[in-house]
Structure 1
Amino acid sequence: TEQVEGAIEQITITLRDLHNISYGDADDFSIFDQTSLLDTINTVTASLTAFLGVIAGISLLVGGIGIMNIMLVSVTERTREIGIRKAIGALRRDILAQFLLESLLLSLLGGVLGILLGWGVSVVAGAAFDVPALVEASTVLLSFGFAAAVGLIFGIYPAWRASSLRPIEALRYE
């Protein structure tokens, strides 16, 4: 870095002489070294990464709320079924596990569709900019992990609600 600073000083002196800039006057040129350019690129990259992280978090939240709503509607529509299952001996944990599994499967299906869509966009963008599409296995696994977590977390309340129904009240439900 000392060599870079020395070179910048020499370039500044030479340019000031060529531009006839007097001592104390402002430079009419700018000098950028690769270090400052790299710092700028790193700052922009970090900002974009944070921005995309926030967007991803909001997307996961919205998707999770959507899954929870779908599962709550499913519980409401299947109240009689739940009542019959409980009346013939299904345990609370059986109902809980069933609805959690359904929520998980719904979320994983969305995860698969999202991964396929992301891969497709990556291929199209890569072809458009003549850059090879790169989808790493770790990214795919992380996506599946997040999809599973969203399905389980947002499926807890509907599953609990389904498992908490009393058989007599559920059988009366029309």
Structure 2
Amino acid sequence: MNYFKLTWKNIIRRKSRFFFTLSAIAVGIASLVTLLSLGSGLETEIRKQADVLGANLVVTPRGWCAYEQISVLTGETLPEAIPNADVEKIAAIEGLTAFPYLTQRTALNNQPVPLIGILPTAMKRFKGWRVAQGRYLLDTSHVVIGSGIARQFKLKTGDDLRIRGREFSISGMLQDVGNRDDLAIYMDLATAQKLYAVGDKVSFIAVKVDDITRIDRYILEIQETANVAVSSDKQLLKSVLAIVGSVGSALKLVAAVAILASFFGIVNTMMTAIYERRREIGILQAIGARKRTIFSLFLYESAIYGLLGGIIGVVIGFVFSYFAAPYLGQNEFTAFLGNGQSVQFFSAGITLKSLLFSVLVAALAGVYPARQACRLSPVEAISHE
């Protein structure tokens, strides 16, 4: 007896039922794969941006919320709250170098673009930037742009930008570095403070220390020097990942509901199939099929539902997550996903886990119906009309 052919024939016997049961499993697995793929891409990009920041310590105003901690890594607009006097006090501490940031926004062709006020010479040395076109000049009338901004808006050196009613000339374009530094306009810090009327304040300070083994001492010294909060790069990363993880867990519960619905859908499908095939079960018993064999037939049937539905769900999930990422990236909280490289089109790990989970859930859903099938007495089964 060819059990696979028999199982497959029974599965596709009712094509509409086969289609809807398979669809339910595929939707549940697709939602799970989408969330896993986006979550994996988000975590990868967060780690990448933490490395790009290049700071051992991040100095922020006291009382900043989780959203603002994430914005430190995304480069989004942040409230200005640290006065220049505190920046100078921190910079004066021996053994560290301070790099203040003022993060604001402007618009090009009615699209929002990050504008970052910096100390030009110090930041160039800190980031290791190289100029692809023009020259690196930031003053009261010149700005420098990232390569991504130049490509997106078809800008070149010498072009003029109108920012908050003032004309600025693009003096240079930075070389492509493959991170969010490519996606901003850079302006002299004092000019940006005046243009955005924020007084003498900055958004946050990145700090590079000379001796990483004394980082705890530096944190205490900074806090004693100014009324600010200080986080190490590892603490900031851990905090942001914890926030993202909690949101991801909540979203996975939504996917779990869809998978649970498909679980009961398989149970219902298999119970209906047993009722319709009682006579067939009786004939199998009459020709010598053991209870274990009948149990296995129905368990294989439900597992095949899980395998096929899982394969379809994995494909749909990866396709959806890949094309949805840029749209999700328009939200500040998920801005990391705006980078097309942050979400992989395929992940062997996610695929394997999802398929195993799909088959396991389907097999578990088939256990009760399979037990009911093998418990039928031959006389009761074969006499069924």
TM-score bracket for this pair, using the shorter chain length: 0.7 to 0.9
> What corresponds to 1:148 in structure 2?
359
2:371 paired with 1:169: no
Q: Residue 107 in 1 paired to residue 318 in 2?
A: no
Partner-residue secondary structure (3-state), 1:89: coil
Deviation of the 1:46 alpha carbon: 2.7
CA apart distance, 1:146: 0.7
Structure 1 residue 85: Cα displacement? 1.6
| Partners of 2:222 and 2:230 within 8 A in 1 | no
- For 2:262, the aligned partner's letter is G
- Equivalent position amino acid for 2:360 in 1: A
Q: Does 1:43 align with 2:239?
A: no
Q: 1:131 aligns with which of 307, 318, 340?
A: 340
Structure with bigger helix share is 1
**Cα distance, 1:152 vs. partner?**
1.5
Q: What amino acid maps onto 1:7 in structure 2?
A: I
Q: Distance in 2 between matches of 1:32 and 1:122?
A: 36
User: 1:34, CA displacement in angstroms?
Assistant: 4.4
How far is 1:106 from its partner?
0.5
1:68 counterpart = 2:279 = no
Higher strand share: 2
TM-score normalised by the chain length of structure 1:
0.78
Letter in 2 for 1:4: I
Q: Supply the distance in 2 between the matched residues of 1:86 and 1:51 (Cα, whole angstroms).
A: 48
Check if 1:96 corresponds to 2:295.
yes
Residue 160 of structure 1 aligns to a residue whose secondary structure is: helix
State the AA in 1 paired with 2:325: G
Deviation string 1:91-141 (CA, Å, 9 cap, x unpaired) is 211111111110000111111121111111121023543422323211111
User: Which of 276, 281, 286 is matched with 1:77 structurally?
Assistant: 276
Match of residue 54, structure 1, among 253, 257, 276:
253
Equivalent position amino acid for 1:136 in 2: S
How far apart are residue 59 of structure 1 and its match?
3.2
Moved over 6 A (4+): none
SS of the residue 2:340 aligns to: coil
Unpaired runs of at least 5, structure 2: 1-215, 328-337
Equivalents in 2 of 1:69, 1:155: separation in Å?
10
Q: Helix, strand or coil for the counterpart of 2:380?
A: helix
CA distance in 2, matches of 1:159, 1:39: 47
Q: Deviations over 1:35-77 (max 9, x none)?
A: 4754541331231233134334333322211111111111111
Q: Measure the CA separation in 1 of the matches of 2:369 and 2:230.
A: 58
Higher deviation after alignment, 78-87 or 127-136: 127-136
Aligned length, in residue pairs: 156
What is the rounded CA distance, in whole Å, between the counterparts of 1:127 and 1:41 in structure 2? 21
List runs of 5+ in structure 1 lacking aligned partners: 13-30
Aligned to 2:218: 3
**d(CA) in 2 for partners of 1:60 and 1:138?**
19
TM-score of the pair, normalised by structure 2: 0.37
RMSD: 2.1
CA displacement at 1:11 relative to structure 2: 3.5
Whole-angstrom CA distance in 1 between matches of 2:229 and 2:317 = 37
SS at match of 2:226: helix
